[in-house]
Structure 1
Amino acid sequence: MTMLQSVYPLYLNNKAVQLNTDLAVTDKFTGEVAFRVAQADSATIHAGIAGAVRAAEPMARLAAYERQAVLQHCVDRFKQRFDELAYALCVEAGKPIKDAEGEVTRLIDTFRIAAEESVRMTGEVQPLDISPRARGYQGMWKRVPIGPCSFISPFNFPLNLAAHKIAPAIAVGCPFVMKPASRTPLGAIIMGEILAETNLPEGAFSILPAHREGADLFTEDERLKLLSFTGSPGVGWALKAKAGKKKVVLELGGNAAVIVDKDADLDDAVERITFGAFYQSGQSCIGVQRIIIHADIYDVLRDRLVARASTLIAGDPKDRATFIGPMISVGEATRLDGWVQDAVASGARLLCGGKRTGAMLEATLLENVGRDCAVYREEAFGPVALLSKFSDFDAALDEVNDSKFGLQAGIFTRDLFKALDAWDRLDVGGVVIGDVPSYRVDNMPYGGVKDSGLGREGIRFAMEDMTEIRNLVIRRRL
């Protein structure tokens, strides 16, 4: 069996530093301390930012092949340490081992894509002679690194969502400081260990676990040119308000909906919706929270979803048979359990689940949930989904849009025109046809609107955010 060390360092200016062992990280299933990690104080964070500032010029001077070599080294080492990374994720996040292995696969994909894109930072030659006054003028532009970046990553995908910040930064030549989630810091620490094996300029990276209050230091320093935050909407928008002049990218929450039209393949829809609602205990910002079903198939699909949910095995995430593991904490499970009970007290019908033991919450389906209930309006971020019915497709689209969030939506339909209508009308960052909103490939532009955030991730799109356009104008005397 893969074992973890008892103590891990942080990474300051490319080097492992064991300042202390102040951050205790628990096994999310047993609740016991699994390992301890060094925690950065304000002086350490300032030292990391200063190092990133010093590294800005040497990072920008790296040749494309040098940046690519660093990323390819990471790909190779992630493959070699695949089982260790998956086990660490299973322990620190409580993620079922099969889901953990899937995330390591996506980590590798993300760095591989970045390695490919690192040699494709292209610009454009632009004619400027659009009028007589510009005769003889020629324009060109290229992309240059924006400079030192600040990254704050979440607990639910501690490997791949950190990778979506780190990999494009290296691809374009931006130094960075990263604050991983305190509940799940180990994935980022292992990435730091692997990056430390490369010849990146000193100060190119610092990975600094810190208290939540430390997020202000990662946000307010004017020497940082970009803040990329993934996490809760309340925290994200508050950080944006403090960020000053720097560019801000926010990947925040959602309460994603899926529409199931009457022509859907029900066998397929049942499997995909069950996955979308309950994989990794529903702790995904694009997890299926609202299931909007055509009235003609509502009863059949409802009963089949309830039956399928009852077969899901909950328990120890280290067991390969487990589908639902613990939520990230007892507090989060208690919060969502309270929302479920409030909805039932307000007239919702509990179809299955609804029981909590510690951090474990059963796969739960509800119907007739009032739109003023917290479990409808807010982000559940746990294994709970709500069923409703529709007769008019336009009304179903309106129901999807009846949300302060707008991350992704899924549509099960075979009607091309309905699919295009959904793409036109849904106020979301992405529409997925024939599948749940929970689907993401790591090279696509991913992000949301409304309270779900600003900007897009997906390697090429993150690289654009981490660069500035620099123009060149040449005058020829004709």
Structure 2
Amino acid sequence: MIEKKMLIGGEWVDKEEKIEVIYPYTRKPIGRVPKGDEKDVEKAIERAKEGFKEISSLTAYERYEILMKAAEILKSRAEEFAKTLVLEVGKTIREARTEVQRAIQTLIFSAEEAKRINGETFPIDAHPNGKGKVGFYIRVPVGIVSAITPFNFPLNLSMHKVAPALAAGNAVILKPSERTPLTPLMLGEVLLEAGVPPKAISVIPGYGDVGRAMTTHPEVRVVSFTGSRKVGDIIARQVGIKKLVLELGSNSAIILHKDGNVQKAVEKTVQGGYAIAGQVCISVQRVFVHEDLYDDFLKRLKERVSKLKVGDPMKEDTDLGPMIAPSELERIQEWISEAVQKGARIEAGGLRCAEDETIFSPTIVSLVPEDSKLFKEEAFAPVVAVNPYKDIEEAIRWVNSSDYGLQVGVFTN
């Protein structure tokens, strides 16, 4: 059992009330962390006000050195982080190692950017009244940043928010998903060891009340959220005039035109559609294939998907592991059933794995109607919908019919 305390302004704090961390593959608890609340956020903000003064007074080079040291520490603990990611997220060990490497690169990129924060001059004398005057601006740290992250990339998405904020001289309060708080708390350990001013960093596991306190507090200057469109909409209505950064969901599509490379499109569909059991904001969910290539593409895709190895995410050769929670398996099963009732056809999968009921079989559904949830909403599951089209304008209309953004791919020559 992994036991962690929460981090409030450099102080490790324990509480009686806990959040259990469940291993998605076995559905058994593997960790426990304190359950934060609004009072913890208040304390973190009070300390962050002091921490901001400390970190903003550091030189750009000093912040660069701290983040580079953090990258080295993370590198030395890479396998520990990777195995913890498997336990809390359920992603495969290979996917977990990739996430750790991306987090290291994010630290290095952020460290380098700390040295590139500059300003600009303006030709004031180009104005009739500008003789003898000079104009310029510089960029300065903004203050306290509230960062809220989802379950699927708990380390690297935390890093996307925390590392650039620290590089720019800001204090950060991080709320990870209550499902995956372990690696974000381990990240707090790394940052403190690297020399981040203690009061400038907090990591508070918790539920919606913690997030609400972090987004509405008047001392917070920036809110950065990655997660669902529904929650993003709520946050956007709450924050007022704060700076707001939202990275929300998607219903990403591929168009395979009649002159495209079928096998390449198949490989990229599998790579993009089934990684982390489809629980990626830019996961390939819909594929629109020109009718001349449709049968060939579908045949090849089914053959390729049948070769995916599902099972224990700790095994080196596993391609697809469990979804995060039973409720998510039930939801996607309902969506597939709805699509089938409206005329769709299951080409592969469509059910939980008989051997491992925490895993949803890699699924292909064809002829998915436009009015089904599987076509319109974000599936966040190992399911790819494949539909034929006659005219490219029709395919583009289908892609653009989604209310989501983020990503689309086009295969053409």
Q: TM-score range by the shorter chain?
A: over 0.9
Aligned position for 1:373: 372
Task: Show the 5 A alignment for 1:164-179.
Answer: 164-179=160-175
Between stretches 130-139 and 110-119, larger displacement belongs to 130-139
Q: CA RMSD in A?
A: 1.2
* Alpha-carbon distance in 2 for matches of 1:413, 1:71: 42
* Alpha-carbon distance in 1 for matches of 2:343, 2:408: 26
Kept in 2: contact 1:277–1:385 (CA 8 A): yes
Aligned position for 1:213: 209
* Alpha-carbon distance in 2 for matches of 1:167, 1:337: 38
Give the superposition deviation at 1:369.
1.0
* Alpha-carbon distance in 2 for matches of 1:294, 1:325: 32
Task: Show the 5 A alignment for 1:285-434.
Answer: 285-357=281-353, 358-414=357-413
Kept in 1: contact 2:263–2:297 (CA 8 A): no
Q: Once the two structures are aligned, what percentage of the paired residues are identical? A: 38
Give the superposition deviation at 1:263.
2.2
Give the superposition deviation at 1:176.
1.1
Kept in 1: contact 2:147–2:225 (CA 8 A): yes
* Alpha-carbon distance in 1 for matches of 2:374, 2:395: 19
* Alpha-carbon distance in 2 for matches of 1:6, 1:250: 31
* Alpha-carbon distance in 1 for matches of 2:194, 2:306: 48
Q: How big is each residue's C-alpha offset from its partner over 1:1-56, in whole Å with a ceiling of 9 and x where there is no partner? A: xxxx5311111111222234601101110011001112222221110011112222
Kept in 1: contact 2:70–2:193 (CA 8 A): no
Q: How big is each residue's C-alpha offset from its partner over 1:306-361, in whole Å with a ceiling of 9 and x where there is no partner? A: 11111111111111121111100000111011100111011101111001254311
Residues 1:142 and 2:157 are matched in the alignment: no
Match of 2:146, SS state, is strand
Q: How big is each residue's C-alpha offset from its partner over 1:344-402, in whole Å with a ceiling of 9 and x where there is no partner? A: 01110111100125431111111111111011110000001111122322332222111
Between stretches 205-214 and 167-176, larger displacement belongs to 205-214
* Alpha-carbon distance in 2 for matches of 1:232, 1:362: 24
Between stretches 198-207 and 299-308, larger displacement belongs to 198-207
The one-letter amino acid of 2:21's match is V
Q: How big is each residue's C-alpha offset from its partner over 1:60-112, in whole Å with a ceiling of 9 and x where there is no partner? A: 11101111111111110111011001000001000011111111111111111
Residues 1:100 and 2:99 are matched in the alignment: no
Match of 2:194, SS state, is coil
Aligned position for 2:31: 35
The one-letter amino acid of 1:332's match is E
The one-letter amino acid of 2:150's match is P
* Alpha-carbon distance in 1 for matches of 2:393, 2:163: 40
The one-letter amino acid of 1:161's match is L
* Alpha-carbon distance in 2 for matches of 1:323, 1:41: 38
The one-letter amino acid of 1:190's match is M
The one-letter amino acid of 1:378's match is E
Structure 1 stretches of 5 or more lacking a match? 415-478
Aligned position for 1:162: 158
Q: How big is each residue's C-alpha offset from its partner over 1:442-469, in whole Å with a ceiling of 9 and x where there is no partner? A: xxxxxxxxxxxxxxxxxxxxxxxxxxxx
Aligned position for 2:57: 61
- TM-score norm. by structure 2 comes to 0.97
Q: 1:81 aligns with which of 77, 89, 92?
A: 77
Structure 2 stretches of 5 or more lacking a match? none
Kept in 1: contact 2:192–2:198 (CA 8 A): no
* Alpha-carbon distance in 2 for matches of 1:343, 1:62: 56
Q: CA 1:127 to 1:247, structure 2 compared with 1: closer, same or farther past 3 Å? A: same
Task: Show the 5 A alignment for 1:175-186.
Answer: 175-186=171-182
Match of 1:361, SS state, is coil
Q: 1:240 aligns with which of 236, 240, 243?
A: 236
Match of 1:196, SS state, is helix
Q: 2:121 aligns with which of 121, 125, 130?
A: 125
Kept in 2: contact 1:332–1:359 (CA 8 A): no
Q: Which runs of 4+ in 1 moved over 6 A?
A: none
* Alpha-carbon distance in 2 for matches of 1:38, 1:66: 32
Kept in 2: contact 1:306–1:365 (CA 8 A): yes
Give the superposition deviation at 1:290.
0.6
The one-letter amino acid of 2:33's match is V
* Alpha-carbon distance in 2 for matches of 1:245, 1:342: 41
The one-letter amino acid of 2:115's match is V
Kept in 2: contact 1:346–1:370 (CA 8 A): yes
The one-letter amino acid of 1:282's match is G
Aligned residues: 410
Kept in 2: contact 1:16–1:193 (CA 8 A): no
Kept in 1: contact 2:38–2:209 (CA 8 A): no
Give the superposition deviation at 1:203.
1.5
Kept in 2: contact 1:27–1:93 (CA 8 A): yes
Match of 2:384, SS state, is strand
Kept in 2: contact 1:331–1:359 (CA 8 A): no
- TM-score norm. by structure 1 comes to 0.84
* Alpha-carbon distance in 2 for matches of 1:200, 1:311: 46
* Alpha-carbon distance in 1 for matches of 2:324, 2:246: 22
Match of 1:385, SS state, is strand
Aligned position for 1:196: 192
* Alpha-carbon distance in 2 for matches of 1:312, 1:66: 47
The one-letter amino acid of 1:383's match is P
Kept in 2: contact 1:162–1:180 (CA 8 A): yes
* Alpha-carbon distance in 2 for matches of 1:6, 1:238: 33
